[in-house]
Amino acid sequence: MTEVISERPRIGISACMFDCPVRYNSKRFDALAALGRERADFVFTPVCPECMAGFGVPREPIHLTGSGADVLAGRAKVLDRHGRDVTQRLVDGSRACVDALERAAVRAVILKEKSPSCGIAKTRIGSRRRESALGSGVFAAMLAESPWFLIPETAFDSALTWWDWRRRLHAWLWLGDREIATNGDLTGAWHVVKFILQETQRAEADAIGRELAALPKHAPRETLEALHARILAALRVPTTRQRATAALWKTYTHYRKRGQLEGVDLHDLTVNSPEVLRNVTTIAAELTGLERVGFENDLLFGTSPVLFRDARRVKARDAAKTEEE
C-alpha cells in the first residue's frame, strides 16, 4: 500500500521566488503559482542570503571568482561591480539563513538558479565580461555540506518535472525518518522506494539490491547506516520524461494483469502507452491520477510510493473503506 506522511513538509525557498522583491534589481516572481492548490501541502520559509548580508535592495550585482565551495574553502572571493571584496559578508549572510532554516525545522530548500548565493550548478564564475565556467553559489554550497534536499528552480519547468521532484522529496523525507536498526528495517524501507531508483538509476538500484542481499544476518549498524545514506543520496537524482512514461505504463499494466483495478473508480483516468504522443502536462495528470487511485485503494504505486495526505483525508479514506466492508 502507499505510504503516507501527514505532516506538511517544511521547505525553505529563495525569497525572490516567493514573490519577495529582494533581487539586486528589485524584481520578484512567484514560482509557486504553478502549484495551484498543492501549494497548501507545504510550509515555506523564504530566505535571502544577500539581504541577510546587508547588501540592501536595490544593490550592486556581485560575482564569484570561483565556485561557492571554493569561496567557503578560502580559495575564491566574492566581489562587487567595483572589485570590492564582500566575501565575508555573503558567507555570514548565508550562515544566518542556514540558522533560520534549522530553527524552522526545514529539511529541503528550493533555490534560485544562476544566483551567486543560491545557484546550485549554473552560477557564473567570474564577471559577465569574462565568464569562464558555471558552478554553485555560496549559500547552495553551504547547504550541500549537510544532508539537505536541494531543489533547483528548474523543478518548476513543467508539471512533470515538479511531479518528479515532489514524489522524490516525499520518499526522501519518509525514508529519512525511518529507524534503521536491523536488516529487516532497511530491507522493508528499500522495498517501498526501490521502484523510483529502478526508474531513475537502474545500475545503482541493482547495486544496492545486491549489497542488501549479501548482508550478513546481523549486519553492523554502521553498514546499515551507510546503505541507508546511499539510498537517500540516490533519491536526489531526477528522472527523464521517457523513463517516467515507461514506469507509469509498467505500473498500470501490472495493476491490470493482477486484476487490482477491477471495480475501482478510476475517476475518468486514462493511462496511455509510451508510444502515444502527449505533452508533459498530460503525462503528469496520468501520474497524479494513478497516485490518487493507489491511495484510495491501498495499492502500492511504486513510481510514487509516498504521498502527503493530511490526517483529515486519511481518516475519510479509512471511513469509506470501513463502510464498504
Assess whether pLDDT exceeds 90 at residue 220. yes
Which residue reads 501490472 in cell numbers?
A: 254
What the block records as the C-alpha cell of 4 is 503516507
Assess whether pLDDT exceeds 90 at residue 316. no
Average pLDDT over residues 64-75: 96
pLDDT at residue 298, as a whole number: 82
Write the single-letter amino acid at 54.
G
Residue 131: which pLDDT band, with cuts at 50, 70 and 90? low
pLDDT at residue 254, as a whole number: 84
Query: What ranges make up the beta strands (E) of 48-172?
Result: 62-64, 78-80, 108-111, 123-125, 133-135, 149-152
Model pTM above 0.75 = yes
pLDDT at residue 268, as a whole number: 76
**Residue 274: is the preceding peptide bond cis (ω within 30°)?**
no
